[in-house]
Amino acid sequence: MIQIDDVSFAYKQQKKEQLSHITLAIQPGEFILLCGKSGCGKTTMTKLINGLIPHFAEGKYNGKVLLSQQDTRNLKTYQIAERVGSIFQNPKTQFFNLDTDSELAFGLENMGTDPVKIRTRVSKVVQELEIEGLLNRGVFELSGGEKQSLAVASVYAADPQIYVFDEPSANIDEQGIERIRQILFKLKKRGKTILIAEHRLYYLMDLLDQAVYLKDGNIEFVYSNKEFKNISDTQRRELGLRTFYPIDMAVWQNKKPKPSEALLTIANLTCCYRNEPVVHRATFSAAKGDVIAVTGTNGTGKSTFMRCLCGLIKESGGTVTYQNKTYNHKQRRSLCYMIMQDVVHQLFAESVKQEFQLLNHTVPDDKITEILTELDLKPLMDKHPMTLSGGQMQRLAIAVAFLSDRDIIVFDEPTSGLDYTNMLVVSRMVKKLAENKIVFIITHDKELVQESCSRILRLADGEITEVN
């Protein structure tokens, strides 16, 4: 089905090869997991199969990839698209249409399928994948999980033989993952060939036929399902892989009771998203040292709630009190700091070092050096923030939060798309921040919650409850 033959690839303007001498044969109907640490070449490998290499990404490309005996070099991108369906990591940028109905029909329309057949096929797909709730909506109003379900459904509508996934779970909640898992089962049952590059592994354990472990652009190991499952826990951590099994929150060690002395009190806080209330009269309190997970399914309003706490959205009712002083939404902006999911949006200075000078108070140089050393960023001090890698940018944003005078720090999905090792790094920094601040983490990542959070708030149907 797919034959990767001694392929090496280096992106344009990069000396280092992202993949070197990769050889792999994939049989029809096989389910292949591509795993390994961040930057190991997983995503690049998915691009070999869906033809983005060599047709889209520029770089140095050697070797060849055969799809049913045909070299991808000699196939046009649309010919590859008819055989290989791709689901990408970033749900924001994988839709062409702005409304869901159009997106579902888009692949078939491109192939010139008869309109009547398209309508029949789309309604069948909607029924099979149970996505009735997604019909006739704008793609921007969908939650991350809904976007990802729509992405799979629209590819599935065109019915290719091969499916390539690039970290489909990165931005979605447990229910969303379960939904994707069910869809994957269906695809597998239909004999589709599936390749999936992924950090979160637990939901794939019963699906995979082979697991390919990549390290620095080389295939280090190829495991069968049985061999993969037999990897011990210690070994797994050494390989930098995420948990193989769903996290059991019963063994949650950092758990702390509700503080007796509250520093931050939120009373009857009501927040709206586009004039619709999504959080009703939330009431809770927190103390210094608390690391509070904010959980709940995609689209329940976790981000809205936290944006309101940070003062980016005006509350529709209720109060936020800190150290016995009530803060309105504008005042809260200088009390809280948010580390966004896409940290590119929040780095503004011309060098890493100057990023700290944008804080509204002066920070002594030795403090900056100290934190940068600790986060492995010191050699990059004079570089432009935008030239850093994603992980480095995230650490820089955290460093800025650390030296800011803000007492409340909010993380928005800090570990989506992070491998085990980097997740531990984030967790360590969270704990360090919590030494003299209150930390909130919006997350679906139970591994992170177990590792670093001391309390869990759950948002469902507009109600905030504390999980014990």
Partner 1 sequence: MGAIPKGVISLDPRTKMLLLIAVSSFIFTNTSYLAEASILVVLMLIAVGLGIPKTALKGIIIYITLSAVKYGLLPILPNMIAANFNIVAVTFRKLLPCFLAGEILVQTTSIRLLMFTLQKLHIPQTLIIPLTITVRYFPALSEERQAISNAMKMRDVKGIAKKLEYIYVPLMITASNTADELSQAITARGIDNPVPKTCAIDIRLRSLDIFMIVASISLLGWTITKMFL
Binding site for partner 1 (CB under 8 A): 50-52, 55-56, 76-78, 81-82, 84-86, 88, 90, 92-102, 105-115, 118-119, 122, 136-141, 154-155, 158, 307, 310-312, 333-334, 336-338, 340, 342, 344-348, 358-360, 386
Q: Which is nearer to partner 1, 325 or 345 (CB)?
A: 345
Contact status, residue 277 vs residue 271, Cβ threshold 8 Å: yes
Q: Say whether the peptide bond before residue 160 is cis (omega within 30 degrees of 0).
A: no
The whole-angstrom separation of Cα 249 and Cα 404 is 33
The whole-angstrom separation of Cα 297 and Cα 176 is 8
Q: Which is nearer to partner 1, 310 or 371 (CB)?
A: 310
Query: Kind of pairing, strands 438-442 and 291-295?
Result: parallel
Q: Which is nearer to partner 1, 161 or 218 (CB)?
A: 161
Q: What are the φ/ψ torsions at residue 228 (nearest 5 degrees)? A: -65, -45
Residues 6+ apart with CB under 8 A from 387: none
Q: Which is nearer to partner 1, 121 or 446 (CB)?
A: 121
Give the nearest distance from C-beta 187 to partner 1 in angstroms: 17
User: Could you tell me the maximum CA-CA distance found in the chain, to the nearest angstrom?
Assistant: 72
Terminal Cα-to-Cα distance of the chain (whole angstroms): 50
Give the nearest distance from C-beta 405 to partner 1 in angstroms: 11
Q: Which is nearer to partner 1, 236 or 333 (CB)?
A: 333
Give the nearest distance from C-beta 152 to partner 1 in angstroms: 13
Give the nearest distance from C-beta 373 to partner 1 in angstroms: 23
Give the nearest distance from C-beta 391 to partner 1 in angstroms: 16
Sheet-wide strand order for 59-67:
19-26, 2-11, 59-67, 70-71
Q: Which is nearer to partner 1, 245 or 348 (CB)?
A: 348
Give the nearest distance from C-beta 46 to partner 1 in angstroms: 10
Give the nearest distance from C-beta 131 to partner 1 in angstroms: 15
**Residue 425 vs residues 116, 240, 286, 420: alpha-carbon distances, Å:** 53, 12, 24, 9
Q: Which is nearer to partner 1, 82 or 374 (CB)?
A: 82
The token duo for 458 is 């759950």
Beta bridge mates, 89: none
Give the nearest distance from C-beta 116 to partner 1 in angstroms: 9
What ranges in 194-260 are assigned the alpha helix state H?
Answer: 225-229, 233-238
Q: Which is nearer to partner 1, 299 or 311 (CB)?
A: 311
Q: Which is nearer to partner 1, 342 or 463 (CB)?
A: 342
Map 68-85 to HEC letters.
Answer: CCEEHHHCCHHHHHHHEE
Query: Kind of pairing, strands 264-273 and 455-460?
Result: unpaired
Give the nearest distance from C-beta 430 to partner 1 in angstroms: 18
Contact status, residue 305 vs residue 296, Cβ threshold 8 Å: no
